[in-house]
Every structure is written in C-alpha cells, then in structure tokens.
A and B are shown apart, each in its own frame.
Chain A
Amino acid sequence: MNWTWFHKWGSPKWFYEMSGRWLPWLAVAAVLLLAVGLVWGLAYAPPEKYQGNSYRIIYIHVPAAFLAQSCYLMMAIAGAVGLIWKMKLADVALQQAAPIGAWMCFIALVTGAIWGKPTWGTWWIWDARLTSMLILLFLYFGIIALGNAISNRDSAAKACAVLALVGAVNIPIIQKSVEWWNTLHQPATFKITGKASMNAEMWLPLLIMVLGFYCFFGAVLLMRMRLEVLRREARARWVKDEVAGLVKAGSK
C-alpha cells in the first residue's frame, strides 16, 4: 500500500493549502443542503400519523445526534493517530472538533427535550439513551477543560487523546441503548441493513439534513483548524508570509 497520502497530513503547510481549496465547496454544499432540507422537512414532508407536526423536530434532532457521535469517533481516531504517529495535526483536529461536537450534543439534547414534551409528556427522563447522550456532552466538556487546563501542549494533547479514546466506549452504548434497555426513545430511524422505518417522503429530507450537517461540520472544523495551524506554526516562514499577505489584503 502506498502511504504518501498519510504522510502528507504530517505537513501543516500541505493541510493549510488543501483545506483552503476544500473549504468553499464544503461551505456551499452545507448551505444548499441545509436550505433544501429545512424547507422540505418543515413544509413539504407529510405530517406523521401519530405525532402530527411535532415530529418535524426530527430533521434537526437526528442529524445533530449523528454528528455529535461521529465527531466524537473522529476525535478518538485523531487521538489514536496523535498518540501513535505523533502527528501534530491530529491534536489540532481533536481540540478544534470538541466545541463543535459539544454544541451538536447540546442541540440533540435540547431538541429532544422539546420533542419529548408533546410526545412523551415530559421534558426529560433518566432513560438509557438520554443519559448516555448527556454523558457524551460531559465527555466533550471534559476534553475541552483538559485541553485548556494543561499549559504544556504535548501533555495536553496526550491527556485529551487518552480521554477521547477511553470515552469512545460510550458511543456503542448510545447506539445500543434503545435495544439493551427498556426506553421511551424510539429505535433507530435508519438502519444499514433492512428497510428504513419511515416512507421516502419523510426520510429523504432527513438524509439531506444529515448530509448538510456533516458538510457544515467539515466547513466549520476546517475554518477552526486553519486558524489554529496559523497560531501554532507562527514561527514558520510560510505562516509569516501567509499572515503578512492576509494582513495586507485586510488593510486595503
């Protein structure tokens, strides 16, 4: 196998140049997908048989919950890459993804509570799915706090990577919680095998929203990582040139 693609990620300069090219496409894709998904989900998808229109919250609740979990998995992988190969960019990705993941977890919990009130009659219950998502939010807080608390960058990177890896145990628990425990939460809408449990008019806009959220995450993550690379590599020649160029362009 050819590993040059992997070694390229060791170069912050390569990342900065490539991400500059990807960012506009991701941003445009995110805006388009989210706009189409929002209008379709809110206005055109048919009402649900039992829940009426309150089910439309699914179009933000499920994408945010997916992303909150995927983001954590990505951070665990970045943590492993950082620990094994000492790749600097892995720690940048881990640190910059954490706040986005925490916000997505927040959206999933808040929209879930708002959806729960008319559907279950309560904002919150200490149910397996809800509790494991709350633990995920606290894991995000833990990683953010740990990253800020340790002033030595290498030590902070190591500690955060270990926490990200250990906390990844929670992800399969979230996934399986609706099967392992008795819960109010409905089972998965999408399954990799077998038919989706909704009709196409309902899950197509959901799929578009999920893709939109992922593009949104990609765009915001790249934005945050690019700034962090400039900060961390401030002493490199290419960063000095880049910042000088940006400053000049901004002052015109």
Chain B
Amino acid sequence: MKKIYITIFILFIAFSGGTGFSQENKKSVTEMTREELSELSYQDLMNLSLEDLMVVANKFGLSADEILEYFLNKDVTSASKRAEKSINSPLSTTVLSKDEILASGATSIPEALRLIPGMIIREKTNGNYDAHIRGNDNLPPKNMFIYSENSISLVMIDGRPVYNYAFGGSFWETLPVELNDIDRIEVIRGPSSALYGPNAVSGVVNIITLKPEGKNLKTDASVQIGNNSAKLANASLAFGVSDKLKVRLSGNYTHFNRSNDEFYIYDLGRNYPKGALDTMVMWYNPSRSKMKVHENIDEAIPDPSLSLNKYGVNAFVFYDVTKDINFNLSAGLNNSSNNTTTLGNSEFPIAGRDADFKYFDIRSKIYGFSLQANYMMGKQDFQRASKGWDIDPQIANASLEYEKSFGSLVIRPGVSYQSAIYDDTKSLTQEDIDNLNGFLNGAPKITNVAGYIRGDYSFKEKLRLIAALRTDKYNVPSSTYFTYQFISTFNINTKNLVRAVYSRANRGPFIVDSYANYNWQVVPANSDGMAPQLLIWNGSKKLDLPVMDMFELGFRTQPFKNIMIDIEAFQSKTKHFSYFMPDTLDVTLNLATGKAVNSVAHIQYYNFDLASTQTGLTFNISAVLAKNLNLKVFGTFQKTDLKNVYPKNYFNNLAEMQASIPSNPKLQQDGYLLTIASRAQTAQYKLLNGLTPTTEELQAAQLFQTFNATQLGRIGQLQSQGYKETYEVYNTDIENDKIKSSLLENSSNKATPSFYGGFSVSYSPTPKVNAFLSSYFFTSNEIIHSETDDTNKNGYDPIYKIDAKAIFSMKLSYKIYKENAIFINCRNLFNSTSREFAFMDKVYGKYLVGASISF
C-alpha cells in the first residue's frame, strides 16, 4: 500500500515542476493537439484568422455526423490489425471506448465488460468477477470450482497475453492496468486462435492502453470511496520529452471489503465465522470427524472481511522515430490480495489469493514489420496456506509479423514463440519436494512455436475475404495444432453488411494438467481407513487440447443515420475436454479384523468424449437519439447441448472403487485361504481338546490338507505381514484410457444462462452533466459442482441454482470546471443481493462518491 503512494508522490515531485514544457505556438493550429489548443490565450485566439479559429473552435466538438460515427461506428483493429470502422469489422466485435467506460462508472475492467454483448459477468465476492464470453461454463460438469471459471478466453493488454497457464483462466485482480489506463477495450466473440494464438477459444478481450496526445504535461487523478470500505484511486501523468518521445506514468489502487466476514461450509449448508473454522471439528463428516475444518485459518485468511486489495504502477514510453518507425515500451508491477473462489477442494468455497508481478513489453513497428516481446514474472499464491498452490510464473512472448500489400490483397505472415514456466519449489522445503508435497515439485515449462499467415483481399470494396492460418507446435503435448479462420464480408451497400465466419481454435496446454506430480497426504489421517489417506496426482503429457469449431453469420445495418443494429447467429462445437479422475485405489486391509488400515488413490488427467454444441444469437442496437442522449440495448439467446456427459464425479469414483474391494479376486483368494486355514486350525484345536468340530470346520481341515506349497506359502506370508495386505482396485469406468461410452449421457448445459444482456443510456442535459444508467441481466442458471450442498444432497447431481437477476447501475457526474468533476456512482442501485456465482457471497450494492481532476 505504502509503495503506491510513494511512487505516485515521487512521480508528481519529479514531473510537476513543469520545466521544459513551454508552449510552442509556432505550430499551425491544425498541427496542434487538443491540449495545446486548450492552452491558447484569448489574445492568441483574437490574432487567429477565421479559418484557424474555426479549426480551434471545432477541435473540441464533433459535428452531428461525427457524433453518430463516434458512438455507432468506432475504430476496431480486431481482424485486420489495422484500425477500421466497426460496421466493416469482419468478426463479432464490440469496442468500448474510454469515454463510455468513464461515464458508465464501472469500478473495474471485468465490471466494464458488462457493457459489452456476449459477456457473462458474475460477481463472486465484492469486486471479484468471473467473465465468460458466450458461455460454455462449468465444463466438464460435476467438478471443482476451477472448471466453473472461464479458461477458454484470451485476455491481452496491448497484444500481450495475460493468461494463467498453470490451470487456465484470467485472474482479473492480477492485471497491472486499470480503467484509467485504457483507451478502449475490444472484445471479439468466437474462436480466434488463428489470429491471436492459443486460448482464444471462446473469444478475446483486448485491452488497449492510452497514448498521450500532446506534448504538454497532463495530469489525471480520480478517487472514489463507498460502502464496504470501497476505496478506488488512480493517477497518471503524461508528457512529451519532445514531439517524438512521449511518456505516461500511472498508478491505481482498489480496495473492497466483503459484505460479510463469514464462510459457508458446504456440508452444513450455512455460514460460520472465521473463528469457528479452526476450532470446530468436522463432526458432520464421519471419515474426518476428528479434523478441524481448517487448521491454519489465520494464515490462509488473515482478514476474513477483505474482498480485494490491489495496486498497480505502470510506465509507458512512446518513441515515434519517423512516420514508419516507432518503439513503444511499457513496464510495470502489480500486487493483489483477495478472498474469492477456491480453486481446489476445500470444506468451504472461499480462499485467499496473492499475486505480485512485474512485466515489461516492447512493441515496435519498422516499416512493414511489427515486433513485440514481453516478459512477466512474479509470485502467485492461488490458495494461501495450502501447500502446492504457491506457484511462481515466468512468462515470455515474442512475435514478429510483416505486412505487405499487393494491390487489394494484404498479406501478413508472422512467427511467435511463447514460454511459460511455473515454479513451486521456492515455496517448498527440500523435504516437501522429496515427498512430492507441491503440485509440481519443480519448474516445468510449456513452450509453443507458431507460424501464421493472414491474407485480406478486397474486391471493389464490396466483397472482402480474410483467411488466417496458424500452426502451433507445443512441447507438451508433443503435437502440432492447426487452426484457421475464414471470414467473408459483403457490403450490400454502405449501410448494410453481411458476413460469415468459419473458424477453429484450440486452447493451449496447462502446466498442472501436464505436469502434476503431487502426493497429497491427508493430515490428520482419515479415521475411516477406506477413505484415501494419500492421493497421488499425476498430469498427462498426452492430453488432446480442447478445440472449438464455429460457424457464424452476421448482419450489420444502419437503417437510419442514428441507429446501428448488429446481429450475429452462431453455432460452435467444443470437444477434447480434460480433467482428472481417480483410476486406481490401493487399500490396505487388516485381514484379521476385516478393517481397512490405509488407502491410496491414484488420480490422473484424462480426455473426455464430452462435446458441447452451442447455438445462439446476439443482437446489439445502438442509437443516438440526440447528440446528448445515447442508447444501447443488447442481448444473447443461447442453448448449449452436451453429448457424452459422464454422470459421476470423483467422489463417486472413489466410493465405487471402495465398494468394489470385497469383490477383488486377490482379496477373495486370500480370504478363502485364511478362512480355510483358520477353520482347519479350530477343527484341530477342538479335536485335540475333546470337542466336536462343526461339519464346516472338518471340511476346511480336509481342504487344508490339499493346499499346495504356493497356497501354504501365501498363508505364511500373510501371517508374517500381521494379516495386513494391500489390494488394488481399478476404476472400471475407464477402458483404454477412456471412459466407456455406454456410461455417457446427453444433456443440456444449464450453467450458461439462456438469455443475458443489458442496456445503457447516456444523457448529458448540459455539457457539464452526464447521467449514465446501465443494466445487466441474466436468466437463471445452474452449476453442477462436485461439492454437495446440504440442501441439495442428491447423489450424482449436486446442483447449485443461481436465480435470474437484473442489476441497475448509475453514475451522475458534474464537471465543476473544465474536465474536473464530482460524481455519485451506484453499482447495483437497488441492492439486488442474490448470489451470482455458486456458493459465493451475496452481492450488495456499491454506493460511491468521488471526484476526478484533469489538468
């Protein structure tokens, strides 16, 4: 916390002196930036010719046509990697501008995504979000939380992937930039790995940061405070060292507390205070009834009321050498702590996470060449105080592309390299590593070398054909993936465009799925010897990577000058899901007592035949009703059908394997030998003591005399082992490394709402006042989770239902002087408290007041 204040303070001291930023009025007004023009004095203005004066007067405003163009038809760079108008964008793309983000009052990047069609945004704990593009949530079902969060979309900052390669997903709290750094956010819906690389399966969120406009010193700062200890602050300084060299420095800080400080215990179906967790034993769980709910809760969750605390500091340097040569450098750090969804198994669904990252990113354009290289490293504890979850990433990316035009054909070939190392050894002792107490117990690496080419051909400004082809060669699995995007657009006229996309994308490999090498010793031991005391967890380097194929048809129309309608219909099919499954159980029995004394489960990652087919339609209507009144309405209808769903979870697998122990042939044979030996012994004893053996005992005595040396040897061996022997049983649902197809079922995936969308209205009654009202809504949805809810213990289907919800938010801002404003910001205005994510906190309204300065 201190760090950020110190940094911001130093930045201000260093640069607010203002020396060296003198006005250069020798430039013509057309060459001057808005900032430079705003510095002109009245005398300067009176000396201008009418022609120049008109330029100055109108630099600050937009003509009616320009207003329409600005709101309805923003520039996007999505498919062509060059700016083009939204109406011409060949992909399903939405651009959220800086002005819209700031006016909306969104308190974070994922919350701002609620203004974009096709996004499913669920708030987990206050200020912590899960964001899905189009859905495919909770696959495979009946699983841990980690599979409920999105791991098939790619988030990038200025083209740098910010992805969690350990086990997938985007951790929004770990982004170094905040809304104040953003020029625009572009969201591309649909598989796009041919254009953007692995993990762009359901889509891409590309965050594009600001570039300073002028050379003059510009300072922006904003603070907000609100209920649940909400504190948001950011500041930035931008200046030009020369016309060619510009710098922007920024810092951001966010703090939210949870709406309560209790923890839900799955098996009890209600909340308990933190103090109860390390005093209360799990009396409700027969096999673990002497264990505490959480041993070291103070270390795991020191502050139960905390939801999110994070800061980031960034520096951006822009050096435009000539029109054709430029270099951009950004570097920064971020630190976050939050209490949000647990990723693994736990008795309660909330876990503490920490992250501390540093990064740098270099981008350069030299004539037709585009070069980008970046590196990110740091510490990341995915689940505090749980051994193995503290895994430190080191991620490097490099790419080189070249663009060349041949008439109406633009070709852009490129190559890229990516390496992701995750190292858990730093948080482990040598003993831990030797005992395989970490997930990885090492620093495994996934690498990816890719080659790609994109061709963009226009025919008479009517027809446009884009083909993007890419091959990715991974080290693990050691195979090559070929992905593609074929896109065509046809301009019926300047106001109507139809387009079609056929594409395939794949997710990249995950470190944990590939390299898990983990012995999970259950401490203290389960009192029931049948329950696994040790889980041996192994990754697989042979997993097929998830792949999505999609066909999409789109239509964009501007029926009136002030209305744009965008409709996209899509069908996608996703397959090759993978997750872990117990395949073997070694149970050690005491044959003298018939009780289990130890149990070891072997768990490995497998591919599943599961296939998800999603069919849907998204609409987005934007209207400029007046220059000061804009309206947007959007929504997505979708249906997801699942084929080959495996109806069991890993608890079911373990229970079935335990139940199969008595029928284990080796155990039956040993049992037979010992029973006969024991009865024969009784018969002998009775005969020696003048008693009459039973018929059964006499038969056993006769049989025992027929035992051969092997049988007698086995009995001797068991005797010498104190009658303790280990029996191995297998998960009989697996056959040739696959689940038997006869066990698979078809169903529909209700985890993605069948309808979700929103609307927004922006109204400025005067240039100083803006009111932005927005709403986000989704229909009810269900997550099928591996943890059972006490109210819903129905064996194979522990369903957690999320009710339909509509959230209204409003920001009212008033510019006191120039761009300096005060505002009231209400997120979830009517305090609709229902949960948005399974087992997480109730979501309460955020009511904030704030001020922003800009000079």
Indicate whether A and B interact: no
Please list the residues of chain B having a beta carbon within 8 angstroms of any beta carbon in chain A: none
Question: Which A residues are closer than 8 A to B by beta carbons?
Answer: none
